Amino acid sequence: MDDNQDVLLALNLLLESCAEQVRVTAHPEQIVRFLEEFDPDVILLDMNYQQDAMSGREGFNWLEQIRQADPDAVVVCMTAYADVEKAVQAIRAGAVDFISKPWEKEKLLATLSTAVELRRNRLELKNLKRQLSAVGVPEGSGVSVLGESKAMHQVFEMIDKIRNTTANVLITGENGTGKDLIARLIHERSPRAGKIFASVDLGAIPESLFESELFGYEKGAFTDARRDKPGRMEAARGGTLFLDEIGNLSLTMQAKLLTAIEKQQITRLGAIRPMMIDVRLISATNAHLGQIVDKKLFRQDLLYRLNTIEIEIPPLRDRGDDLLLLTSHFLHRFARKYGSEFGGKLPREVTVKLKNWHWPGNVRELEHAVERAVLLSQGKEIKPEHFMFPSAQKVKGNSTGEFDLMKIEKEAIERAIRHTDGNISRSALLLGITRYALHRKMQKYNI
Protein backbone atom coordinates (compact mmCIF):
# COMPACT_ATOMS: atom_id res chain seq x y z
CA MET A 1 0.00 0.00 0.00
CA ASP A 2 1.25 3.41 -1.00
CA ASP A 3 -0.24 6.89 -1.46
CA ASN A 4 1.44 7.29 -4.87
CA GLN A 5 -0.68 5.84 -7.69
CA ASP A 6 2.34 5.58 -10.03
CA VAL A 7 4.18 3.49 -7.43
CA LEU A 8 1.15 1.23 -7.01
CA LEU A 9 0.85 0.72 -10.76
CA ALA A 10 4.55 -0.13 -11.07
CA LEU A 11 4.38 -2.60 -8.17
CA ASN A 12 1.26 -4.25 -9.57
CA LEU A 13 2.90 -4.75 -12.99
CA LEU A 14 6.06 -6.13 -11.40
CA LEU A 15 4.41 -8.54 -8.97
CA GLU A 16 1.42 -9.87 -10.91
CA SER A 17 3.66 -12.16 -12.97
CA CYS A 18 5.20 -13.86 -9.91
CA ALA A 19 2.34 -13.84 -7.38
CA GLU A 20 -0.99 -15.65 -7.31
CA GLN A 21 -2.85 -12.49 -6.41
CA VAL A 22 -1.89 -8.86 -5.85
CA ARG A 23 -3.97 -6.10 -4.30
CA VAL A 24 -2.92 -2.47 -4.00
CA THR A 25 -4.45 0.51 -2.23
CA ALA A 26 -3.62 4.15 -1.61
CA HIS A 27 -5.84 4.22 1.49
CA PRO A 28 -4.21 2.67 4.57
CA GLU A 29 -7.49 2.83 6.51
CA GLN A 30 -8.53 -0.22 4.44
CA ILE A 31 -5.78 -2.34 6.01
CA VAL A 32 -7.97 -4.22 8.49
CA ARG A 33 -10.58 -5.04 5.82
CA PHE A 34 -7.80 -6.28 3.52
CA LEU A 35 -6.54 -8.62 6.23
CA GLU A 36 -10.01 -10.06 6.79
CA GLU A 37 -10.89 -10.56 3.12
CA PHE A 38 -7.53 -11.23 1.48
CA ASP A 39 -5.23 -12.86 4.08
CA PRO A 40 -2.01 -11.83 2.28
CA ASP A 41 1.28 -13.69 2.59
CA VAL A 42 3.23 -10.42 2.58
CA ILE A 43 2.25 -6.79 3.14
CA LEU A 44 4.43 -4.15 1.45
CA LEU A 45 3.79 -1.03 3.51
CA ASP A 46 4.84 2.53 2.64
CA MET A 47 6.04 4.43 5.69
CA ASN A 48 5.37 7.98 4.42
CA TYR A 49 1.94 9.46 3.68
CA GLN A 50 0.64 12.97 3.02
CA GLN A 51 0.05 13.77 6.68
CA ASP A 52 3.71 13.19 7.54
CA ALA A 53 5.92 12.85 4.48
CA MET A 54 9.33 12.26 6.08
CA SER A 55 9.26 10.94 9.66
CA GLY A 56 7.42 7.71 8.91
CA ARG A 57 5.31 8.19 12.03
CA GLU A 58 2.08 7.48 10.15
CA GLY A 59 3.57 4.30 8.67
CA PHE A 60 4.56 3.06 12.11
CA ASN A 61 0.98 3.65 13.26
CA TRP A 62 -0.38 1.48 10.43
CA LEU A 63 2.26 -1.16 11.13
CA GLU A 64 1.05 -1.35 14.73
CA GLN A 65 -2.55 -1.78 13.57
CA ILE A 66 -1.53 -4.59 11.22
CA ARG A 67 0.30 -6.39 14.02
CA GLN A 68 -2.73 -6.05 16.31
CA ALA A 69 -5.08 -7.44 13.65
CA ASP A 70 -2.77 -10.33 12.76
CA PRO A 71 0.27 -11.05 14.99
CA ASP A 72 1.54 -13.50 12.36
CA ALA A 73 1.42 -10.94 9.52
CA VAL A 74 4.65 -10.52 7.55
CA VAL A 75 5.28 -6.82 6.77
CA VAL A 76 8.03 -5.33 4.60
CA CYS A 77 8.35 -1.55 5.02
CA MET A 78 9.24 0.80 2.16
CA THR A 79 10.15 4.50 2.07
CA ALA A 80 11.90 7.11 -0.06
CA TYR A 81 13.37 8.65 3.09
CA ALA A 82 15.38 5.67 4.33
CA ASP A 83 17.97 5.78 7.07
CA VAL A 84 19.45 3.21 9.44
CA GLU A 85 17.58 4.51 12.49
CA LYS A 86 14.22 4.25 10.73
CA ALA A 87 15.00 0.75 9.46
CA VAL A 88 15.94 -0.44 12.96
CA GLN A 89 12.79 1.13 14.39
CA ALA A 90 10.65 -0.67 11.78
CA ILE A 91 12.21 -4.04 12.58
CA ARG A 92 11.68 -3.50 16.30
CA ALA A 93 8.04 -2.59 15.60
CA GLY A 94 7.46 -5.93 13.91
CA ALA A 95 8.46 -5.52 10.26
CA VAL A 96 10.59 -8.31 8.78
CA ASP A 97 12.56 -6.14 6.34
CA PHE A 98 13.03 -2.61 5.00
CA ILE A 99 13.31 -1.44 1.36
CA SER A 100 14.31 1.97 -0.01
CA LYS A 101 12.61 3.70 -2.94
CA PRO A 102 13.39 3.64 -5.77
CA TRP A 103 13.85 -0.10 -5.42
CA GLU A 104 16.09 -2.51 -7.27
CA LYS A 105 13.88 -5.08 -9.02
CA GLU A 106 15.98 -8.16 -8.12
CA LYS A 107 16.43 -7.08 -4.51
CA LEU A 108 12.72 -6.38 -4.06
CA LEU A 109 11.69 -9.75 -5.48
CA ALA A 110 14.28 -11.58 -3.35
CA THR A 111 13.10 -9.78 -0.22
CA LEU A 112 9.45 -10.59 -0.89
CA SER A 113 10.29 -14.23 -1.70
CA THR A 114 12.06 -14.59 1.65
CA ALA A 115 9.11 -12.92 3.39
CA VAL A 116 6.63 -15.38 1.79
CA GLU A 117 8.70 -18.33 3.04
CA LEU A 118 8.75 -16.81 6.53
CA ARG A 119 4.97 -16.44 6.48
CA ARG A 120 4.53 -20.09 5.50
CA ASN A 121 6.90 -21.22 8.26
CA ARG A 122 4.98 -19.16 10.82
CA LEU A 123 1.66 -20.65 9.75
CA GLU A 124 3.09 -24.18 9.74
CA LEU A 125 4.43 -23.71 13.27
CA LYS A 126 1.10 -22.26 14.41
CA ASN A 127 -0.76 -25.19 12.85
CA LEU A 128 1.57 -27.68 14.54
CA LYS A 129 0.99 -26.06 17.93
CA ARG A 130 -2.77 -26.18 17.28
CA GLN A 131 -2.50 -29.87 16.45
CA LEU A 132 -0.48 -30.55 19.59
CA SER A 133 -3.01 -28.64 21.66
CA ALA A 134 -5.88 -30.57 20.07
CA VAL A 135 -4.40 -33.95 20.95
CA GLY A 136 -2.96 -32.91 24.28
CA VAL A 137 0.63 -34.04 23.80
CA PRO A 138 3.89 -32.18 24.50
CA GLU A 139 6.13 -31.06 21.69
CA GLY A 140 9.32 -32.93 20.98
CA SER A 141 8.52 -35.98 23.07
CA GLY A 142 11.02 -38.74 22.31
CA VAL A 143 10.97 -42.44 23.13
CA SER A 144 13.42 -45.24 23.71
CA VAL A 145 12.64 -48.94 24.09
CA LEU A 146 15.03 -51.17 26.04
CA GLY A 147 15.54 -54.78 25.04
CA GLU A 148 18.41 -57.12 24.19
CA SER A 149 16.56 -60.43 24.09
CA LYS A 150 16.05 -62.39 20.89
CA ALA A 151 12.31 -61.80 21.09
CA MET A 152 12.76 -58.02 21.20
CA HIS A 153 15.40 -58.08 18.47
CA GLN A 154 12.77 -59.61 16.21
CA VAL A 155 10.46 -56.70 17.02
CA PHE A 156 13.20 -54.15 16.28
CA GLU A 157 14.06 -55.91 13.01
CA MET A 158 10.45 -55.68 11.87
CA ILE A 159 10.34 -51.98 12.75
CA ASP A 160 13.53 -51.47 10.76
CA LYS A 161 12.07 -53.28 7.73
CA ILE A 162 9.09 -50.92 7.57
CA ARG A 163 10.93 -47.71 8.48
CA ASN A 164 10.71 -46.32 4.92
CA THR A 165 7.00 -47.03 4.55
CA THR A 166 3.79 -45.54 5.90
CA ALA A 167 1.90 -48.86 5.99
CA ASN A 168 -0.74 -49.28 8.70
CA VAL A 169 0.48 -51.38 11.62
CA LEU A 170 -1.36 -53.53 14.16
CA ILE A 171 0.49 -54.09 17.44
CA THR A 172 -0.65 -57.02 19.58
CA GLY A 173 0.42 -58.19 23.00
CA GLU A 174 -0.63 -58.56 26.61
CA ASN A 175 -1.46 -55.61 28.82
CA GLY A 176 1.62 -53.79 30.07
CA THR A 177 4.02 -54.92 27.34
CA GLY A 178 4.59 -51.38 26.06
CA LYS A 179 2.53 -51.31 22.88
CA ASP A 180 2.25 -47.52 23.08
CA LEU A 181 6.03 -47.15 23.23
CA ILE A 182 6.47 -49.42 20.22
CA ALA A 183 3.91 -47.31 18.33
CA ARG A 184 5.90 -44.15 19.07
CA LEU A 185 9.12 -45.88 18.07
CA ILE A 186 7.60 -46.91 14.71
CA HIS A 187 6.53 -43.31 14.15
CA GLU A 188 9.92 -41.83 15.05
CA ARG A 189 11.70 -44.23 12.68
CA SER A 190 9.33 -43.49 9.80
CA PRO A 191 9.22 -40.81 7.07
CA ARG A 192 6.70 -39.01 9.29
CA ALA A 193 9.07 -38.64 12.23
CA GLY A 194 8.95 -34.85 12.12
CA LYS A 195 5.15 -34.76 12.08
CA ILE A 196 2.52 -35.13 14.78
CA PHE A 197 1.98 -38.34 16.74
CA ALA A 198 -1.50 -38.41 18.24
CA SER A 199 -3.06 -41.17 20.30
CA VAL A 200 -6.56 -42.00 21.42
CA ASP A 201 -7.84 -44.71 23.77
CA LEU A 202 -10.82 -46.08 21.91
CA GLY A 203 -11.86 -48.17 24.90
CA ALA A 204 -12.53 -44.97 26.85
CA ILE A 205 -14.72 -43.25 24.23
CA PRO A 206 -18.50 -43.71 24.61
CA GLU A 207 -20.24 -44.44 21.33
CA SER A 208 -22.16 -41.15 21.54
CA LEU A 209 -18.89 -39.18 21.51
CA PHE A 210 -17.01 -41.26 18.95
CA GLU A 211 -17.62 -39.03 15.92
CA SER A 212 -16.91 -35.74 17.70
CA GLU A 213 -13.72 -37.14 19.26
CA LEU A 214 -12.30 -38.66 16.08
CA PHE A 215 -13.75 -36.36 13.42
CA GLY A 216 -14.28 -33.10 15.33
CA TYR A 217 -17.20 -30.67 15.18
CA GLU A 218 -18.19 -27.21 14.02
CA LYS A 219 -19.36 -24.42 16.31
CA GLY A 220 -23.08 -24.86 16.94
CA ALA A 221 -23.15 -28.53 15.90
CA PHE A 222 -24.74 -29.33 19.27
CA THR A 223 -25.64 -27.49 22.46
CA ASP A 224 -22.19 -27.30 24.03
CA ALA A 225 -20.27 -26.78 20.76
CA ARG A 226 -19.22 -23.19 21.48
CA ARG A 227 -16.23 -23.29 19.12
CA ASP A 228 -14.80 -25.33 16.27
CA LYS A 229 -12.81 -28.33 17.48
CA PRO A 230 -10.63 -30.53 15.26
CA GLY A 231 -10.94 -34.25 15.84
CA ARG A 232 -8.01 -36.58 16.42
CA MET A 233 -7.85 -37.69 12.77
CA GLU A 234 -7.77 -34.10 11.55
CA ALA A 235 -5.20 -33.07 14.14
CA ALA A 236 -2.91 -35.91 13.07
CA ARG A 237 -3.01 -35.05 9.35
CA GLY A 238 0.38 -35.66 7.79
CA GLY A 239 1.46 -37.67 10.82
CA THR A 240 0.50 -40.80 12.74
CA LEU A 241 -2.64 -41.63 14.72
CA PHE A 242 -2.32 -44.34 17.37
CA LEU A 243 -5.60 -46.16 18.04
CA ASP A 244 -5.18 -47.92 21.35
CA GLU A 245 -7.59 -50.67 22.45
CA ILE A 246 -8.94 -51.05 18.90
CA GLY A 247 -10.63 -54.30 19.92
CA ASN A 248 -13.09 -52.38 22.10
CA LEU A 249 -14.80 -50.61 19.19
CA SER A 250 -18.47 -51.40 18.71
CA LEU A 251 -19.59 -52.52 15.25
CA THR A 252 -21.22 -49.12 14.67
CA MET A 253 -17.99 -47.27 15.43
CA GLN A 254 -16.01 -49.78 13.35
CA ALA A 255 -18.17 -48.96 10.31
CA LYS A 256 -17.57 -45.22 10.71
CA LEU A 257 -13.84 -45.70 11.11
CA LEU A 258 -13.69 -48.00 8.09
CA THR A 259 -15.49 -45.43 5.93
CA ALA A 260 -13.01 -42.71 6.95
CA ILE A 261 -10.06 -44.97 6.15
CA GLU A 262 -11.39 -46.10 2.78
CA LYS A 263 -12.39 -42.63 1.56
CA GLN A 264 -9.42 -40.93 3.25
CA GLN A 265 -11.73 -38.15 4.28
CA ILE A 266 -13.75 -37.08 7.30
CA THR A 267 -16.61 -34.67 7.92
CA ARG A 268 -16.81 -32.71 11.14
CA LEU A 269 -20.13 -32.85 12.96
CA GLY A 270 -22.17 -29.93 11.71
CA ALA A 271 -20.03 -29.42 8.61
CA ILE A 272 -21.27 -29.66 5.03
CA ARG A 273 -18.07 -30.42 3.17
CA PRO A 274 -15.72 -33.32 3.93
CA MET A 275 -11.99 -32.77 4.28
CA MET A 276 -9.24 -35.01 2.97
CA ILE A 277 -6.92 -36.61 5.49
CA ASP A 278 -3.50 -38.18 5.21
CA VAL A 279 -2.96 -40.20 8.37
CA ARG A 280 -0.92 -43.30 9.10
CA LEU A 281 -2.76 -45.61 11.48
CA ILE A 282 -1.04 -47.66 14.15
CA SER A 283 -3.48 -49.74 16.19
CA ALA A 284 -2.99 -51.83 19.30
CA THR A 285 -4.95 -54.48 21.15
CA ASN A 286 -4.50 -57.15 23.78
CA ALA A 287 -7.39 -59.13 22.30
CA HIS A 288 -7.23 -61.88 19.68
CA LEU A 289 -8.94 -60.02 16.85
CA GLY A 290 -9.16 -63.17 14.75
CA GLN A 291 -11.34 -64.80 17.41
CA ILE A 292 -13.46 -61.67 17.72
CA VAL A 293 -13.93 -61.65 13.94
CA ASP A 294 -15.11 -65.26 14.12
CA LYS A 295 -17.69 -64.20 16.72
CA LYS A 296 -18.90 -61.43 14.38
CA LEU A 297 -17.83 -58.77 16.89
CA PHE A 298 -15.13 -57.24 14.69
CA ARG A 299 -15.27 -56.47 10.98
CA GLN A 300 -12.97 -58.54 8.80
CA ASP A 301 -12.64 -55.70 6.25
CA LEU A 302 -11.55 -53.26 8.96
CA LEU A 303 -8.97 -55.74 10.24
CA TYR A 304 -7.54 -55.99 6.71
CA ARG A 305 -7.17 -52.21 6.63
CA LEU A 306 -5.43 -52.08 10.01
CA ASN A 307 -3.01 -55.00 9.90
CA THR A 308 -0.98 -54.44 6.74
CA ILE A 309 1.89 -55.20 9.11
CA GLU A 310 1.33 -57.00 12.42
CA ILE A 311 3.86 -56.86 15.24
CA GLU A 312 3.45 -58.98 18.36
CA ILE A 313 5.15 -57.71 21.52
CA PRO A 314 6.42 -60.58 23.69
CA PRO A 315 5.44 -60.77 27.36
CA LEU A 316 8.15 -59.96 29.90
CA ARG A 317 8.41 -63.62 30.99
CA ASP A 318 9.64 -64.49 27.46
CA ARG A 319 12.30 -61.77 27.30
CA GLY A 320 15.08 -63.44 29.31
CA ASP A 321 17.61 -61.03 30.82
CA ASP A 322 15.61 -58.03 29.63
CA LEU A 323 13.99 -58.37 33.04
CA LEU A 324 17.22 -57.35 34.81
CA LEU A 325 18.03 -54.71 32.18
CA LEU A 326 14.66 -53.05 32.73
CA THR A 327 14.91 -53.44 36.50
CA SER A 328 18.24 -51.59 36.51
CA HIS A 329 16.78 -48.85 34.31
CA PHE A 330 13.78 -48.34 36.60
CA LEU A 331 15.91 -48.49 39.74
CA HIS A 332 18.14 -45.66 38.57
CA ARG A 333 15.17 -43.62 37.38
CA PHE A 334 13.29 -43.85 40.67
CA ALA A 335 16.46 -43.43 42.70
CA ARG A 336 16.93 -40.05 41.01
CA LYS A 337 13.25 -39.19 41.39
CA TYR A 338 13.13 -39.87 45.15
CA GLY A 339 16.70 -38.87 46.00
CA SER A 340 17.68 -42.41 46.91
CA GLU A 341 21.31 -43.30 47.54
CA PHE A 342 20.91 -46.67 45.87
CA GLY A 343 23.00 -47.06 42.73
CA GLY A 344 24.75 -50.38 43.03
CA LYS A 345 24.19 -53.95 41.93
CA LEU A 346 21.17 -55.91 43.10
CA PRO A 347 21.84 -58.75 45.57
CA ARG A 348 21.54 -62.25 44.07
CA GLU A 349 18.55 -63.16 46.24
CA VAL A 350 16.66 -60.19 44.77
CA THR A 351 17.41 -61.15 41.16
CA VAL A 352 16.38 -64.75 41.90
CA LYS A 353 13.07 -63.55 43.31
CA LEU A 354 12.46 -61.33 40.30
CA LYS A 355 13.23 -64.16 37.85
CA ASN A 356 10.92 -66.57 39.67
CA TRP A 357 7.92 -64.27 39.36
CA HIS A 358 5.79 -64.69 36.21
CA TRP A 359 4.97 -60.95 35.77
CA PRO A 360 1.34 -61.11 34.61
CA GLY A 361 1.32 -57.30 34.32
CA ASN A 362 4.53 -57.33 32.25
CA VAL A 363 6.76 -54.22 32.05
CA ARG A 364 4.15 -51.97 33.62
CA GLU A 365 3.96 -54.25 36.66
CA LEU A 366 7.76 -54.34 36.89
CA GLU A 367 7.93 -50.56 36.80
CA HIS A 368 5.46 -50.20 39.67
CA ALA A 369 7.17 -52.98 41.64
CA VAL A 370 10.56 -51.27 41.34
CA GLU A 371 9.14 -47.89 42.33
CA ARG A 372 7.53 -49.46 45.41
CA ALA A 373 10.82 -51.22 46.30
CA VAL A 374 12.78 -47.96 46.09
CA LEU A 375 10.29 -46.26 48.39
CA LEU A 376 10.28 -49.14 50.90
CA SER A 377 14.07 -49.31 50.96
CA GLN A 378 14.18 -45.70 52.20
CA GLY A 379 17.22 -44.97 50.10
CA LYS A 380 19.26 -47.91 51.35
CA GLU A 381 19.91 -51.44 50.11
CA ILE A 382 17.21 -53.11 48.01
CA LYS A 383 16.16 -56.38 49.66
CA PRO A 384 13.88 -59.27 48.59
CA GLU A 385 11.18 -58.22 51.02
CA HIS A 386 10.86 -54.90 49.21
CA PHE A 387 9.33 -56.80 46.29
CA MET A 388 5.99 -58.11 47.53
CA PHE A 389 4.46 -60.90 45.42
CA PRO A 390 1.99 -63.66 46.30
CA SER A 391 3.83 -66.84 47.30
CA ALA A 392 4.23 -69.61 44.71
CA GLN A 393 2.07 -71.93 46.86
CA LYS A 394 -0.81 -69.48 46.85
CA VAL A 395 -0.55 -68.94 43.12
CA LYS A 396 -0.62 -72.69 42.46
CA GLY A 397 -3.57 -73.11 44.80
CA ASN A 398 -5.43 -70.33 42.99
CA SER A 399 -6.32 -68.77 46.34
CA THR A 400 -4.90 -65.27 46.02
CA GLY A 401 -7.25 -62.34 46.18
CA GLU A 402 -6.37 -61.43 42.59
CA PHE A 403 -7.31 -64.83 41.15
CA ASP A 404 -10.41 -65.22 43.30
CA LEU A 405 -11.65 -61.81 42.25
CA MET A 406 -11.17 -62.65 38.59
CA LYS A 407 -13.19 -65.85 39.02
CA ILE A 408 -15.95 -64.03 40.90
CA GLU A 409 -16.04 -61.26 38.30
CA LYS A 410 -16.33 -63.70 35.40
CA GLU A 411 -19.14 -65.60 37.11
CA ALA A 412 -21.00 -62.36 37.89
CA ILE A 413 -20.78 -61.27 34.26
CA GLU A 414 -22.04 -64.64 33.03
CA ARG A 415 -24.97 -64.56 35.49
CA ALA A 416 -25.92 -61.02 34.44
CA ILE A 417 -25.87 -61.96 30.75
CA ARG A 418 -28.02 -65.03 31.38
CA HIS A 419 -30.44 -63.02 33.52
CA THR A 420 -30.95 -60.44 30.75
CA ASP A 421 -31.09 -62.99 27.93
CA GLY A 422 -27.90 -61.59 26.42
CA ASN A 423 -28.88 -57.89 26.53
CA ILE A 424 -25.49 -56.18 27.00
CA SER A 425 -26.87 -52.77 27.98
CA ARG A 426 -29.09 -54.24 30.72
CA SER A 427 -26.28 -56.53 31.88
CA ALA A 428 -23.93 -53.56 32.26
CA LEU A 429 -26.61 -51.73 34.24
CA LEU A 430 -27.01 -54.69 36.61
CA LEU A 431 -23.23 -54.91 37.10
CA GLY A 432 -22.87 -51.17 37.69
CA ILE A 433 -20.40 -50.64 34.84
CA THR A 434 -20.57 -49.08 31.38
CA ARG A 435 -21.47 -51.06 28.29
CA TYR A 436 -17.98 -50.50 26.91
CA ALA A 437 -16.32 -51.71 30.10
CA LEU A 438 -18.49 -54.83 29.94
CA HIS A 439 -17.37 -55.48 26.35
CA ARG A 440 -13.73 -55.28 27.46
CA LYS A 441 -14.28 -57.70 30.31
CA MET A 442 -16.17 -60.15 28.06
CA GLN A 443 -13.19 -60.16 25.71
CA LYS A 444 -10.82 -60.59 28.66
CA TYR A 445 -12.67 -63.66 29.95
CA ASN A 446 -13.56 -64.95 26.47
CA ILE A 447 -17.28 -64.84 27.24
Q: Distance between CA atoms of 293 and 317, rounded to whole angstroms?
A: 28
Fold identical between 5-132 and 150-314?
Answer: yes
- The answer to whether 24 and 11 are in contact (CB under 8 A) is yes
445 or 83: which leads in pLDDT: 445
Q: Distance between CA atoms of 138 and 148, rounded to whole angstroms?
A: 29
Please, what's the b/e burial string for 183-198 (b: 16 or more CB within 10 A of its CB; e: otherwise)? bbbbbbebebeebbbb
Does residue 400 register a pLDDT over 50? no
Q: Kindly indicate whether the domain formed by 317-389 is annotated with CATH number 3.40.50.2020.
A: no
Confidence of residue 106 (pLDDT cuts 50, 70, 90): confident
Closest Cα to residue 302, out of 294, 311, 293? 293
286-321 confidence digits (pLDDT tens): 988 888 899 899 999 999 999 999 999 999 999 999
Q: Distance between CA atoms of 172 and 179, rounded to whole angstroms?
A: 7
**Nearest 5°: CA angle at 25, between 27 and 121?**
115
Measured in whole angstroms, the distance separating CA 49 from the mean position of its chain's CA atoms is 49
Q: What is the CA radius of gyration of the chain?
A: 31
Does residue 120 register a pLDDT over 70? yes
187 or 31: which leads in pLDDT: 187
**CB within 8 A of 411, min separation 6: which ones?**
none
- So where are the chain's domains? 5-132, 150-314, 317-389, 401-444
- If phi > 0 it is left, if psi is from -120 to 50 it is alpha, else beta; for residue 249 that is beta
Q: Kindly indicate whether the domain formed by 150-314 is annotated with CATH number 3.40.50.720.
A: no
**In one letter, which amino acid is 85?**
E
**Nearest 5°: CA angle at 337, between 331 and 343?**
40
- Residue 98's SS3 state is strand
Does residue 421 register a pLDDT over 60? yes
Q: How far lies 347's CA from each of 304, 313, 434, 443, in Å?
A: 49, 29, 46, 40
Question: Residue 217 is inside which H or E element, if any?
Answer: strand 216-217
**CB within 8 A of 92, min separation 6: which ones?**
none
176 or 65: which leads in pLDDT: 176
Class of residue 424 by CB neighbours under 10 A (exposed 0-12, middle 13-18, buried 19+): middle
User: Which CATH architecture is the domain 5-132 placed in?
Assistant: 3-Layer(aba) Sandwich (3.40)
Closest Cα to residue 258, out of 228, 287, 294, 233? 233
pTM of the model: 0.61
Q: Distance between CA atoms of 385 and 432, rounded to whole angstroms?
A: 37
129-149 confidence digits (pLDDT tens): 555 554 444 444 456 789 999
> What is the third-level CATH fold of 401-444?
Arc Repressor Mutant, subunit A (1.10.10)
